[in-house]
Amino acid sequence: MVEQCSGLSGSLDNVHWYSAPDQLFNPNNSGDPVEGYWSAATNRIVLNSNDTIDGATVRHEMLHALLQSGAHPRSAFLQNCGGVVPCPDQCVREAGAPATPDAATPRVSPSELEVTSAVSPDVLSSAIDGGLATFTISVRNPFTHPVVVLLPSNPVGGPALSYSYDIRLNNGGNVASREVAVDIGVTYFAAGETKRDVIDFIVIPVPTPSFGAVFGIGINGIALPPGSYVFRGDYGGQFAPDLNVVLSP
């Protein structure tokens, strides 16, 4: 996934992977707690032991390894791999301010975009890849010109709402979350451009859909027991068609 979005290729054999049981700190700023980091000196990726299969954290560090840089260039983290590789607040600040869209760029509502979603792999089972899988929300600008999307305001204040999802087990229980637009790049679409948001989950026998119920997937990692689900994703309140999904043991 990271090679595809970045256009770069590398070898896993060349990366040395480590996990650490205690809180990690940014090697360049000892007061900055992190879930993981990439070391230029050794091409080493070190992860907190509770984040070793947290897709978002792992992909972030893999992009550093592919770039062979500890920096967060906007082109890589917020443009080419935006939504595939997470870029939290500190990453956004280091990426620098984006170019200001031309004042003449049309403003549109989320309802004027094409919102779809998909799960991967095709067969979702705890017996395949350890149960690891992804739910991707894709948003396409159907116009032949760029647009700026006017996202709905956040009812609790702060940045506007962007992506959200609700993964609901038919016989009870769900996980849901909303994201905010921490960067203007989430709202600017080039002509025909598709943006996406990747949500990782794991199929595993747990009592109910939950966050952080499995060691290794992080505090926000999604654990889903086998069963029949409805996956629902949206961008700015524009919903993708519901996905009826069966997760197998």
For residues 118 and 197, is the Cβ–Cβ distance under 8 A?
no
User: Does 170 lie in the same domain as 242?
Assistant: yes
Q: Is residue 81 part of a domain?
A: yes
Taking the CA atoms of 216, 218, 221 and 223 in sequence, report the sign of the dihedral they define.
Answer: positive
pLDDT at position 32, please? 83
User: Does 120 lie in the same domain as 48?
Assistant: no
Q: Is residue 100 part of a domain?
A: no
pLDDT at position 139, please? 98
pLDDT at position 26, please? 83
User: Does 181 lie in the same domain as 76?
Assistant: no
pLDDT at position 179, please? 95
The two beta strands, 147-149 and 107-108, are parallel
Q: Which two tokens stand for residue 190?
A: 């080039």
pLDDT at position 113, please? 98
Question: Residue 152: which domain range?
Answer: 107-247
User: Does 225 lie in the same domain as 133?
Assistant: yes
Q: How far apart are CA 24 and CA 17, in angstroms?
A: 14
User: Does 201 lie in the same domain as 157?
Assistant: yes
pLDDT at position 97, please? 87
Q: Which two tokens stand for residue 85?
A: 């590789």
As for how many domains the chain has, the answer is 2
pLDDT at position 31, please? 76
Domain termination site, one of 95, 121, 150:
95
User: Does 132 lie in the same domain as 185?
Assistant: yes
pLDDT at position 99, please? 87
Place of tokens 């952080």: 212
Q: Is residue 57 part of a domain?
A: yes
Q: Is residue 102 part of a domain?
A: no
User: Does 133 lie in the same domain as 63?
Assistant: no
pLDDT at position 184, please? 87
User: Does 219 lie in the same domain as 114?
Assistant: yes
User: Residue 76: which CATH number?
Assistant: 3.30.2010
User: Does 146 lie in the same domain as 81?
Assistant: no
User: Does 157 lie in the same domain as 132?
Assistant: yes
Is the full-model pTM beyond 0.85?
A: yes
Q: Mention every residue, 6+ apart, whose C-beta is less than 8 A from residue 4.
A: none
pLDDT at position 44, please? 95
pLDDT at position 37, please? 94
User: Does 240 lie in the same domain as 120?
Assistant: yes
pLDDT at position 145, please? 97
Domain termination site, one of 95, 126, 149:
95
User: Does 74 lie in the same domain as 30?
Assistant: yes
The two beta strands, 194-203 and 132-140, are antiparallel
The residues of the chain scoring below 70 in pLDDT are: 30
Report residue 90: phi and psi, to 5°: -65, -40
Tell me which H or E stretch contains 92.
helix 89-95
Q: Is residue 101 part of a domain?
A: no
Q: Is residue 237 part of a domain?
A: yes
